[in-house]
Amino acid sequence: MADIANKYPENIEGKYYVDNQCIDCDLCRETAPANFKRNDDGGYSFVYKQPADEGEAKLCKDAMDGCPVEAIGNNG
């Protein structure tokens, strides 16, 4: 389970975040590309935009549910 105390600083404030368990598998970026980006230097994903509508919210939840290491958290 993701830990808000270990979230990456690039995450924009809001409900969703990625913590330091991320293994850079690309699932979240493929599932919700409008919300997740890759930090190329560190090799991990982060939330650069919180969901703006129901469609994006569903895709973020799908990304969180599918994350193989549970690195995506929902603080809402």
* pLDDT tens by residue, 7-63: 999 999 999 999 999 999 999 999 999 999 999 999 999 999 999 999 999 999 999
Please give the class, per CATH, of domain 4-74. alpha beta
Q: Per-residue pLDDT averaged across 70-75, rounded?
A: 97
Which pLDDT does position 76 carry in this prediction? 82
Res. 69: pLDDT tops 90? yes
User: What pTM was computed for the model?
Assistant: 0.96
Cβ neighbors of 1 (< 8 A, separation 6 or more) are 70, 73
How far apart are the C-alpha atoms of 39 and 26, rounded to whole Å? 11
Which pLDDT does position 51 carry in this prediction? 98
Res. 72: pLDDT tops 90? yes
